[in-house]
Protein backbone atom coordinates (compact mmCIF):
# COMPACT_ATOMS: atom_id res chain seq x y z
CA UNK A 1 0.00 0.00 0.00
CA UNK A 2 1.00 3.53 -0.68
CA UNK A 3 2.20 5.54 2.33
CA UNK A 4 0.00 8.36 3.61
CA UNK A 5 2.58 10.89 2.42
CA UNK A 6 2.93 9.21 -0.95
CA UNK A 7 -0.82 9.19 -1.39
CA UNK A 8 -1.18 12.88 -0.49
CA UNK A 9 1.60 13.80 -2.93
CA UNK A 10 -0.15 11.79 -5.58
CA UNK A 11 -3.50 13.45 -4.88
CA UNK A 12 -1.83 16.84 -4.90
CA UNK A 13 -0.43 16.20 -8.38
CA UNK A 14 -3.80 15.05 -9.64
CA UNK A 15 -5.94 17.82 -8.12
CA UNK A 16 -7.02 20.55 -10.54
CA UNK A 17 -5.06 23.75 -10.73
CA UNK A 18 -6.28 26.62 -8.61
CA UNK A 19 -7.91 29.92 -9.37
CA UNK A 20 -6.76 33.43 -8.39
CA UNK A 21 -9.16 33.35 -5.40
CA UNK A 22 -7.55 30.15 -4.13
CA UNK A 23 -4.45 31.32 -2.28
CA UNK A 24 -3.38 28.01 -0.77
CA UNK A 25 -4.55 24.50 -1.56
CA UNK A 26 -3.27 20.98 -0.67
CA UNK A 27 0.03 21.15 1.20
CA UNK A 28 -0.50 23.56 4.07
CA UNK A 29 -2.38 23.18 7.34
CA UNK A 30 -5.42 24.85 5.86
CA UNK A 31 -6.53 25.80 2.40
CA UNK A 32 -7.04 29.55 2.01
CA UNK A 33 -9.45 31.21 -0.41
CA UNK A 34 -11.08 34.59 -0.81
CA UNK A 35 -14.87 34.31 -0.57
CA UNK A 36 -16.63 35.42 -3.76
CA UNK A 37 -17.75 39.04 -3.37
CA UNK A 38 -21.44 39.53 -2.75
CA UNK A 39 -22.20 35.83 -2.46
CA UNK A 40 -23.17 33.59 0.44
CA UNK A 41 -21.10 30.46 1.05
CA UNK A 42 -22.78 27.05 1.30
CA UNK A 43 -21.08 24.22 3.19
CA UNK A 44 -22.13 20.59 3.33
CA UNK A 45 -20.62 17.23 4.20
CA UNK A 46 -21.62 13.62 3.55
CA UNK A 47 -19.93 10.35 4.39
CA UNK A 48 -20.01 6.97 2.67
CA UNK A 49 -19.14 4.02 4.92
CA UNK A 50 -18.23 0.56 3.60
CA UNK A 51 -20.99 -2.00 4.27
CA UNK A 52 -23.39 0.75 5.36
CA UNK A 53 -23.57 2.88 2.20
CA UNK A 54 -21.70 0.76 -0.31
CA UNK A 55 -20.46 -2.75 -0.83
CA UNK A 56 -17.05 -3.29 -2.36
CA UNK A 57 -18.38 -6.52 -3.86
CA UNK A 58 -20.38 -4.68 -6.48
CA UNK A 59 -19.37 -1.02 -6.34
CA UNK A 60 -16.57 -0.37 -8.88
CA UNK A 61 -14.00 2.06 -7.38
CA UNK A 62 -14.43 4.73 -10.09
CA UNK A 63 -18.17 4.80 -9.43
CA UNK A 64 -17.65 4.90 -5.68
CA UNK A 65 -15.44 7.96 -6.11
CA UNK A 66 -18.02 9.51 -8.43
CA UNK A 67 -20.80 8.87 -5.93
CA UNK A 68 -18.85 10.40 -3.03
CA UNK A 69 -18.62 13.62 -5.04
CA UNK A 70 -22.17 13.41 -6.43
CA UNK A 71 -24.04 13.05 -3.15
CA UNK A 72 -22.36 16.19 -1.83
CA UNK A 73 -22.89 18.13 -5.04
CA UNK A 74 -26.56 17.19 -4.77
CA UNK A 75 -26.83 19.09 -1.48
CA UNK A 76 -25.40 22.21 -3.11
CA UNK A 77 -27.86 21.81 -6.01
CA UNK A 78 -30.67 21.47 -3.48
CA UNK A 79 -30.02 25.00 -2.19
CA UNK A 80 -29.88 26.46 -5.69
CA UNK A 81 -26.13 27.06 -5.46
CA UNK A 82 -23.02 26.13 -7.36
CA UNK A 83 -19.97 24.22 -6.07
CA UNK A 84 -16.50 25.75 -5.62
CA UNK A 85 -14.21 23.60 -3.49
CA UNK A 86 -14.07 20.10 -2.02
CA UNK A 87 -12.29 18.44 0.90
CA UNK A 88 -11.84 14.67 0.99
CA UNK A 89 -11.27 12.61 4.13
CA UNK A 90 -10.41 9.06 3.39
CA UNK A 91 -10.01 6.12 5.77
CA UNK A 92 -8.78 2.81 4.40
CA UNK A 93 -7.52 -0.41 6.00
CA UNK A 94 -3.82 -1.24 5.93
CA UNK A 95 -3.02 -3.12 2.75
CA UNK A 96 -5.65 -1.39 0.61
CA UNK A 97 -4.64 -1.77 -3.02
CA UNK A 98 -3.02 1.32 -4.44
CA UNK A 99 -4.56 0.84 -7.86
CA UNK A 100 -7.99 0.56 -6.28
CA UNK A 101 -7.55 3.83 -4.37
CA UNK A 102 -6.29 5.50 -7.49
CA UNK A 103 -9.43 4.47 -9.33
CA UNK A 104 -11.59 5.90 -6.52
CA UNK A 105 -9.67 9.16 -6.94
CA UNK A 106 -10.17 9.07 -10.71
CA UNK A 107 -13.93 8.85 -10.31
CA UNK A 108 -13.99 11.48 -7.60
CA UNK A 109 -11.83 14.00 -9.48
CA UNK A 110 -13.71 13.40 -12.73
CA UNK A 111 -17.02 14.43 -11.18
CA UNK A 112 -15.39 17.43 -9.50
CA UNK A 113 -13.95 18.48 -12.87
CA UNK A 114 -17.35 18.05 -14.54
CA UNK A 115 -18.66 20.65 -12.10
CA UNK A 116 -15.64 23.00 -12.00
CA UNK A 117 -14.91 22.10 -8.40
CA UNK A 118 -11.38 22.08 -6.99
CA UNK A 119 -10.07 19.61 -4.40
CA UNK A 120 -8.36 21.84 -1.83
CA UNK A 121 -7.55 19.46 1.03
CA UNK A 122 -8.56 16.59 3.19
CA UNK A 123 -7.26 13.95 5.51
CA UNK A 124 -5.90 10.47 4.97
CA UNK A 125 -6.09 7.97 7.80
CA UNK A 126 -6.00 4.26 8.46
CA UNK A 127 -9.32 2.67 9.40
CA UNK A 128 -10.99 -0.71 9.82
CA UNK A 129 -13.11 -0.16 6.76
CA UNK A 130 -13.23 2.24 3.86
CA UNK A 131 -14.84 5.56 4.80
CA UNK A 132 -15.08 8.40 2.30
CA UNK A 133 -16.13 11.70 3.77
CA UNK A 134 -16.46 14.74 1.55
CA UNK A 135 -17.01 18.37 2.45
CA UNK A 136 -18.16 20.69 -0.26
CA UNK A 137 -18.10 24.47 -0.29
CA UNK A 138 -20.29 26.29 -2.77
CA UNK A 139 -21.86 29.67 -3.20
CA UNK A 140 -25.10 31.34 -4.21
CA UNK A 141 -26.63 34.76 -4.65
CA UNK A 142 -28.03 35.63 -1.19
CA UNK A 143 -31.57 36.23 -2.47
CA UNK A 144 -31.65 33.03 -4.53
CA UNK A 145 -30.97 30.42 -1.87
CA UNK A 146 -33.81 27.93 -1.53
CA UNK A 147 -34.46 26.62 1.99
CA UNK A 148 -36.63 23.74 3.13
CA UNK A 149 -38.60 26.20 5.23
CA UNK A 150 -39.90 28.42 2.43
CA UNK A 151 -42.98 26.46 1.33
CA UNK A 152 -46.43 28.03 1.60
CA UNK A 153 -49.88 26.56 2.06
CA UNK A 154 -51.37 25.65 -1.33
CA UNK A 155 -47.97 25.25 -3.00
CA UNK A 156 -47.52 22.47 -5.52
CA UNK A 157 -45.01 19.70 -4.74
CA UNK A 158 -42.72 18.58 -7.55
CA UNK A 159 -39.91 16.07 -8.05
CA UNK A 160 -37.39 15.76 -10.85
CA UNK A 161 -36.75 12.50 -12.69
CA UNK A 162 -38.19 9.13 -11.73
CA UNK A 163 -38.43 7.82 -8.18
CA UNK A 164 -37.34 4.55 -6.59
CA UNK A 165 -34.72 3.72 -9.21
CA UNK A 166 -31.72 3.68 -6.88
CA UNK A 167 -33.54 1.60 -4.28
CA UNK A 168 -34.48 -0.96 -6.93
CA UNK A 169 -30.92 -0.91 -8.27
CA UNK A 170 -29.51 -1.58 -4.81
CA UNK A 171 -31.87 -4.51 -4.34
CA UNK A 172 -30.83 -5.94 -7.72
CA UNK A 173 -27.14 -5.63 -6.72
CA UNK A 174 -27.84 -7.36 -3.41
CA UNK A 175 -29.39 -10.28 -5.26
CA UNK A 176 -26.56 -10.48 -7.78
CA UNK A 177 -29.10 -9.63 -10.45
CA UNK A 178 -27.43 -6.62 -12.05
CA UNK A 179 -27.76 -7.27 -15.77
CA UNK A 180 -31.45 -6.81 -16.65
CA UNK A 181 -32.07 -3.22 -15.65
CA UNK A 182 -28.75 -1.42 -16.01
CA UNK A 183 -30.37 2.01 -15.67
CA UNK A 184 -31.64 1.12 -12.19
CA UNK A 185 -28.27 -0.30 -11.14
CA UNK A 186 -26.61 2.85 -12.48
CA UNK A 187 -28.98 5.02 -10.42
CA UNK A 188 -27.65 3.31 -7.30
CA UNK A 189 -23.98 3.10 -8.26
CA UNK A 190 -23.55 6.40 -10.08
CA UNK A 191 -26.18 9.04 -9.22
CA UNK A 192 -26.16 12.29 -11.20
CA UNK A 193 -26.49 15.45 -9.11
CA UNK A 194 -29.06 17.89 -10.53
CA UNK A 195 -26.80 20.95 -10.56
CA UNK A 196 -28.18 22.75 -13.60
CA UNK A 197 -31.75 22.08 -12.50
CA UNK A 198 -31.11 23.40 -8.99
CA UNK A 199 -29.66 26.61 -10.34
CA UNK A 200 -32.36 26.99 -12.95
CA UNK A 201 -35.13 26.54 -10.39
CA UNK A 202 -33.52 29.04 -8.04
CA UNK A 203 -33.48 31.59 -10.87
CA UNK A 204 -37.16 31.17 -11.79
CA UNK A 205 -38.35 32.94 -8.65
CA UNK A 206 -41.41 30.66 -8.54
CA UNK A 207 -39.81 28.00 -6.32
CA UNK A 208 -40.40 28.59 -2.61
CA UNK A 209 -38.59 25.63 -1.02
CA UNK A 210 -36.28 22.89 -2.20
CA UNK A 211 -34.24 19.91 -1.00
CA UNK A 212 -32.72 16.82 -2.53
CA UNK A 213 -34.14 13.32 -2.18
CA UNK A 214 -31.72 11.18 -0.25
CA UNK A 215 -33.96 9.22 2.14
CA UNK A 216 -37.10 8.71 0.05
CA UNK A 217 -39.97 11.06 -0.83
CA UNK A 218 -42.08 10.14 2.23
CA UNK A 219 -39.32 11.01 4.69
CA UNK A 220 -37.82 13.93 2.81
CA UNK A 221 -41.16 15.61 2.16
CA UNK A 222 -41.91 15.18 5.88
CA UNK A 223 -38.72 17.15 6.60
CA UNK A 224 -39.72 19.91 4.19
CA UNK A 225 -43.22 20.01 5.75
CA UNK A 226 -41.84 20.22 9.27
CA UNK A 227 -39.44 23.02 8.38
CA UNK A 228 -42.23 24.92 6.62
CA UNK A 229 -44.84 24.25 9.32
CA UNK A 230 -47.20 22.53 6.87
CA UNK A 231 -48.60 19.17 5.84
CA UNK A 232 -48.61 17.60 2.38
CA UNK A 233 -50.76 15.36 0.22
CA UNK A 234 -49.16 13.12 -2.39
CA UNK A 235 -51.24 11.53 -5.14
CA UNK A 236 -50.21 7.91 -5.65
CA UNK A 237 -51.24 8.06 -9.31
CA UNK A 238 -48.87 10.94 -9.99
CA UNK A 239 -45.66 9.27 -8.75
CA UNK A 240 -43.21 9.06 -11.65
CA UNK A 241 -42.48 5.34 -12.04
CA UNK A 242 -40.43 4.30 -15.05
CA UNK A 243 -41.30 1.15 -17.00
CA UNK A 244 -37.97 -0.32 -15.85
CA UNK A 245 -38.87 0.33 -12.22
CA UNK A 246 -42.26 -1.29 -12.63
CA UNK A 247 -40.77 -4.38 -14.26
CA UNK A 248 -37.99 -4.68 -11.69
CA UNK A 249 -40.40 -4.15 -8.80
CA UNK A 250 -42.55 -7.03 -10.09
CA UNK A 251 -39.42 -9.17 -10.39
CA UNK A 252 -38.36 -8.23 -6.84
CA UNK A 253 -41.82 -8.77 -5.39
CA UNK A 254 -42.02 -5.14 -4.27
CA UNK A 255 -44.70 -2.52 -4.87
CA UNK A 256 -43.28 0.13 -7.22
CA UNK A 257 -45.05 2.92 -5.35
CA UNK A 258 -43.46 1.82 -2.11
CA UNK A 259 -40.00 1.89 -3.70
CA UNK A 260 -40.77 5.38 -4.98
CA UNK A 261 -41.94 6.66 -1.59
CA UNK A 262 -39.47 4.97 0.75
CA UNK A 263 -36.47 4.12 -1.42
CA UNK A 264 -33.43 6.23 -0.61
CA UNK A 265 -30.70 7.75 -2.73
CA UNK A 266 -32.63 9.09 -5.69
CA UNK A 267 -30.72 12.39 -5.49
CA UNK A 268 -33.49 14.03 -7.45
CA UNK A 269 -34.78 17.45 -6.39
CA UNK A 270 -37.98 17.92 -4.40
CA UNK A 271 -39.43 21.42 -4.52
CA UNK A 272 -42.49 23.53 -3.89
CA UNK A 273 -43.86 26.24 -6.18
CA UNK A 274 -46.80 28.59 -6.12
CA UNK A 275 -49.94 27.12 -7.76
CA UNK A 276 -49.48 29.33 -10.84
CA UNK A 277 -46.47 27.29 -12.01
CA UNK A 278 -48.44 24.32 -13.36
CA UNK A 279 -48.72 24.99 -17.07
CA UNK A 280 -45.33 26.22 -18.08
CA UNK A 281 -42.71 24.96 -15.66
CA UNK A 282 -42.15 21.41 -16.99
CA UNK A 283 -41.60 22.73 -20.50
CA UNK A 284 -39.26 25.49 -19.33
CA UNK A 285 -37.26 22.95 -17.31
CA UNK A 286 -37.16 20.53 -20.23
CA UNK A 287 -35.82 23.24 -22.51
CA UNK A 288 -33.26 24.53 -20.03
CA UNK A 289 -31.95 21.24 -18.63
CA UNK A 290 -33.34 18.34 -20.67
CA UNK A 291 -34.84 16.94 -17.45
CA UNK A 292 -38.37 15.97 -16.56
CA UNK A 293 -40.19 17.27 -13.54
CA UNK A 294 -43.43 15.86 -12.19
CA UNK A 295 -46.05 17.33 -9.93
CA UNK A 296 -46.77 14.83 -7.18
CA UNK A 297 -48.89 16.69 -4.66
CA UNK A 298 -49.50 19.85 -2.72
CA UNK A 299 -48.83 21.48 0.61
CA UNK A 300 -51.66 21.89 3.06
CA UNK A 301 -52.35 23.34 6.47
CA UNK A 302 -51.73 20.92 9.31
CA UNK A 303 -48.92 18.41 9.47
CA UNK A 304 -47.78 15.05 8.16
CA UNK A 305 -47.43 13.58 4.68
CA UNK A 306 -50.57 11.90 3.40
CA UNK A 307 -50.90 9.57 0.44
CA UNK A 308 -54.09 9.86 -1.61
CA UNK A 309 -54.71 6.55 -3.36
CA UNK A 310 -58.13 6.35 -4.97
CA UNK A 311 -60.52 6.86 -2.09
CA UNK A 312 -58.03 6.13 0.68
CA UNK A 313 -55.91 8.67 2.52
CA UNK A 314 -53.16 7.46 4.83
CA UNK A 315 -50.18 8.99 6.54
CA UNK A 316 -46.80 7.99 5.13
CA UNK A 317 -44.32 10.51 6.55
CA UNK A 318 -40.93 9.40 7.87
CA UNK A 319 -41.01 5.96 6.28
CA UNK A 320 -37.83 6.25 4.25
CA UNK A 321 -34.35 5.24 5.18
CA UNK A 322 -33.37 5.95 8.77
CA UNK A 323 -29.70 5.40 9.52
CA UNK A 324 -30.33 4.70 13.18
CA UNK A 325 -33.32 2.41 12.77
CA UNK A 326 -32.66 -1.33 13.18
P1 LIG B 1 -2.32 18.03 9.02
O2 LIG B 1 -1.74 16.89 9.76
O3 LIG B 1 -1.72 19.36 9.30
O4 LIG B 1 -3.82 18.04 9.03
P5 LIG B 1 -1.95 16.37 6.72
O6 LIG B 1 -0.59 15.79 6.75
O7 LIG B 1 -3.11 15.55 7.18
O8 LIG B 1 -1.92 17.78 7.46
O9 LIG B 1 -2.27 16.84 5.24
C10 LIG B 1 -1.32 17.55 4.48
C11 LIG B 1 -2.03 18.25 3.35
O12 LIG B 1 -2.61 17.29 2.49
C13 LIG B 1 -3.17 19.15 3.80
O14 LIG B 1 -3.18 20.25 2.91
C15 LIG B 1 -4.39 18.31 3.61
O16 LIG B 1 -5.54 19.11 3.37
C17 LIG B 1 -3.99 17.49 2.38
N18 LIG B 1 -4.65 16.17 2.32
C19 LIG B 1 -4.50 15.13 3.16
N20 LIG B 1 -5.25 14.08 2.79
C21 LIG B 1 -5.91 14.46 1.68
C22 LIG B 1 -6.85 13.83 0.81
N23 LIG B 1 -7.29 12.58 1.02
N24 LIG B 1 -7.31 14.54 -0.23
C25 LIG B 1 -6.91 15.82 -0.44
N26 LIG B 1 -6.01 16.46 0.31
C27 LIG B 1 -5.51 15.79 1.37
MG1 LIG C 1 -4.14 15.16 9.14
Per-residue pLDDT, 171:
97
Per-residue pLDDT, 279:
77
Per-residue pLDDT, 306:
96
Point out the ligand 1 atom lying closest to the alpha carbon of residue 15. Answer: 25
Q: Tell me if residue 306 falls in helix, strand or coil.
A: strand
Per-residue pLDDT, 119:
97
pLDDT of 193-207, one tens digit each? Answer: 999 999 999 999 999
Tell me, rounded to whole angstroms, the distance of Cα 36 from its chain centroid.
Answer: 24
* 218, 241, 307, 309 from 314: Cα distances, Å: 12, 20, 5, 8
DSSP state of 34: P
- With the most atoms of ligand 1 within 8 angstroms of its CB, the residue from 121, 125, 127 to mutate is 121
- Which ligand lies nearest the alpha carbon of 30? 1
Ligand 1 atom 5: the closest Cα is on which residue? 123
Tell me, rounded to whole angstroms, the distance of Cα 58 from its chain centroid.
Answer: 20
Point out the ligand 1 atom lying closest to the alpha carbon of residue 119. Answer: 25
- With the most atoms of ligand 1 within 8 angstroms of its CB, the residue from 48, 108, 122 to mutate is 122
Residues with Cβ within 6 A of ligand 1?
A: 8, 11, 26-29, 88, 90, 119, 121-124
Distance 120 CA to ligand 2 centre (A): 14
Residues 6+ apart with CB under 8 A from 267: 70, 71, 74, 166, 191, 192, 193, 194, 212, 213, 214
Distance 95 CA to ligand 1 centre (A): 20
Nearest CA to 25 out of 109, 123, 119 is that of 119
Helix intervals (H) in the chain: 4-14, 61-78, 98-114, 165-174, 182-189, 195-204, 217-228, 243-252, 256-262, 281-289
Q: In what order do the strands lie in the sheet with 156-160?
A: 207-212, 269-273, 156-160, 293-300, 231-235, 304-309, 312-315
Which residues of the chain carry a pLDDT beneath 50? 326
Given the DSSP bridges, would you call strands 82-92 and 118-126 parallel, antiparallel or unpaired? parallel
Per-residue pLDDT, 15:
85
Per-residue pLDDT, 323:
57
Distance between start and end Cα atoms, the chain: 35
Per-residue pLDDT, 193:
98
Distance 99 CA to ligand 1 centre (A): 20
- Which ligand lies nearest the alpha carbon of 10? 1
Amino acid sequence: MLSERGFIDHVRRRAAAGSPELLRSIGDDCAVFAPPAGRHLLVTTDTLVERVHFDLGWHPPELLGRKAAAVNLSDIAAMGGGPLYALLSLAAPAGTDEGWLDRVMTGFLTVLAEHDTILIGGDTVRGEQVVISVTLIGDAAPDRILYRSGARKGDLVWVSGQLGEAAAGLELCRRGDESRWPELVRAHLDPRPRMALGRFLAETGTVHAMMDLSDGLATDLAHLCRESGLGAEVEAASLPLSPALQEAAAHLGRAPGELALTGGEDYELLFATGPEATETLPLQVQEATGLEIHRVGRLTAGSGVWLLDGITRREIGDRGYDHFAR
